[in-house]
Amino acid sequence: MNTTNIPFQETGFFSKIMCDYLDKDSKLRDFYQNYPDLDGFSAQITQKETSFSLETRKVLVTALQKQYKTVDVSVNTSNNIELLAKTNTFTVTTGHQLNLFTGPLYFLYKIFSTINLAAQLSEKFSDKNFVPVYWMATEDHDFEEINFFNFKGKKVQWNSKQTGAVGRFSTEGLAAVFNEFSKHIGGSKNAVYLKQLFSKAYLEHKTLAEATLFIANELFKDYGLVVVDADNSLLKNLFIPYAKKELLENTSFKQVSNSNSILEKDYKVQVNPREINLFYVKDNIRERIVFEDEIYTIFGTDITFSENEILTELSSNPERFSPNVIMRPLYQEVILPNLCYIGGGGEMAYWLQLKAYFDAVDVVFPILLLRNSVQVISEKQEEKLAKLSISKQELFLNQHKLINQKVAEYSQVSVNFNQQKEFLQEQFNDLRIIAAKTDASFIGAVNAQERKQIKGLENLEKRMQRAEKRKHKELVTRITELQNEILPNQGLEERQRNFSEYYLAYGSKFLDILKEELNPLDLEFTVLTL
């Protein structure tokens, strides 16, 4: 096994806003609190320590202990839950949807980034405790986003007509999914483990939230991971003041809209706020709250409230008020002694939209850390890359560009006409000088002729490149097949493949390697050869 690290910015798979954040571009300085380095964490600890109450810690611990009664909690996780009651304990958190059987591979990378960061901070700040947390998105209602996973190119899917918050979904019907998955996985020792993990999670637990908690606990309990299901009345009670402010003052809409107006000058914003960024959750509905004509209406239903009625409902049943994508980060930071949120590029981008909102409601904004990303390649694939003279960095090039580059390297003639284009431009520069001295009206004709000649050279260049590709057809085929094998659909495999493929091949060793090799503070993309 060997490891190669590549700067995120050089892979071509990360947005401009994310690359600028990693480069500490001044345009983004007002949109985050502290940068994800050890100096930043030192400052963050001080800020969070003085703003997080002991009473909130007690409620958090009580809620977690109650939640963990449904699973076999490890000593490490149990100890971490108890540590959260202490004022010198902090969390580092990642979040993820309740994807069927963990969904894409990056589920693992998110959580190991979080586990390893907690360990690194424990070494650096030995008088403090740091607990890794996985926040389950139990209140989401986008079932179509989570009801499947990919296994060796096949889509394993759960069909259900249930509606509302997905964490409350019954696991009824997942036996059929288990049977379908079992057909494709074989009977090896690792396959047996995967079948048992799926079966115990989904066939022995009543809700999707309980099943996902079981899987996360089974995979990561030895590392002390604490899983949070915030669809909880005790925790929602802590959020009442912020929900009330949202209902009466539309604070998030005002602050995030203002931030978006600044950010969109240079970047594409990820999310746009509504006037009220809360959902109402009850039974099998999760619908947004709309305020019109002095009445609060639950969209798509006949449920309505006056101002006094909705505030009474909030006070009596806080679990019925669910934050959307704009307010969920605030809810997280209100109930956790959290220092850092770890997520993917898209998540980091929308968190950057929220800093002013946090300031307005006087909640400390967390450090934002781009999670580890990993590309796994086999030793056989590495040998093929070497034979084709493709480096790990070049692997991530656009396929058209990679093929052109390699064909040019293998060709005995140059199909790059840059030198000829520069020579031609020099000639036309001289002609423009002559035209200006003769009759300035000729300059337009000179420019037009230049464009025509340059276009002709470009067309000739493309034709010769195509001819060289035909000449090196076998090379093109080998490059295309290998890159498609490693990067399915010309994208990162971590966004498409499921962990079960690698667990099937390597067993628990795969998890051990990730724990050993991923360094979240390196801020680099990791290529693992196994």
Residues 139, 26: one domain? Answer: yes
Residues 336, 435: one domain? Answer: no
> Does 278 reside within a domain?
no
Residues 130, 57: one domain? Answer: yes
> Does 9 reside within a domain?
yes
Please give, one letter per residue, the 3-state secondary structure of 24-68: CCHHHHHHCCCCCCHHHHHHHHHHHHCCCCHHHHHHHHHHHHHHH
> Does 135 reside within a domain?
yes
β 285-292/295-298 pair status: antiparallel
Run of H or E including 200: helix 189-203
Look-up: residue for tokens 């706020």? 273
Residues 474, 411: one domain? Answer: yes
Residues 109, 16: one domain? Answer: yes
> Does 299 reside within a domain?
no
> Does 458 reside within a domain?
yes
Cα separation of 334 and 341, whole Å? 13
> Does 291 reside within a domain?
no
Contact 357, 252 (CB under 8 A): yes
Residues 519, 462: one domain? Answer: no
Residues 345, 477: one domain? Answer: no
Please give, one letter per residue, the 3-state secondary structure of 251-303: HHHHHHHHHHHHHCCCCCCCCCCCCCCEEEEECCEEEEEEEECCEEEECCCCC
Residues 135, 48: one domain? Answer: yes
Domain of 463, in residue numbers? 389-492
Cα separation of 527 and 265, whole Å? 34
Residues 486, 514: one domain? Answer: no
Strand, coil or helix: what is 109? helix
Look-up: residue for tokens 């699973």? 71
The answer to whether the predicted template modeling score (pTM) of the entire model surpasses 0.75 is yes
Tokens, residue 447: 């420019």
Residues 219, 110: one domain? Answer: yes
pLDDT of the residue at 385: 95
> Does 383 reside within a domain?
no
Contact 226, 133 (CB under 8 A): yes
pLDDT of the residue at 468: 67
Cα separation of 277 and 288, whole Å? 7
Ordered per-residue pLDDT tens for the chain, 530 residues: 899 999 999 999 999 999 999 999 999 999 999 999 999 999 999 999 999 999 999 999 999 999 999 899 999 999 999 999 999 999 999 999 999 999 999 999 999 999 999 999 999 999 999 999 999 999 999 999 999 999 998 999 999 999 999 999 999 999 999 999 999 899 999 999 999 999 999 999 999 999 999 999 999 999 999 999 999 999 999 999 999 999 999 999 999 999 999 999 999 999 999 999 999 999 899 999 999 999 999 999 999 999 999 999 999 999 999 999 999 999 999 999 999 999 999 999 999 999 999 999 999 999 999 999 999 999 999 999 999 999 999 999 999 999 988 888 877 556 667 777 788 788 888 778 877 777 777 788 878 888 888 888 788 778 877 776 676 888 899 999 999 999 999 999 999 999 999 999 999 999 999 999 999 999 999 999 99
Residues 361, 477: one domain? Answer: no
pLDDT of the residue at 413: 55
Contact 110, 503 (CB under 8 A): no
Residues 232, 340: one domain? Answer: yes
In terms of Cβ atoms closer than 10 Å to its own Cβ (0-12, 13-18, 19+), residue 27 is: middle
> Does 50 reside within a domain?
yes
Number of domains composing the chain: 2
- Give the Å distances, CA to CA, from 165 to 103, 174, 357, 363: 18, 18, 25, 26
**CA terminus-to-terminus distance, the chain:** 5
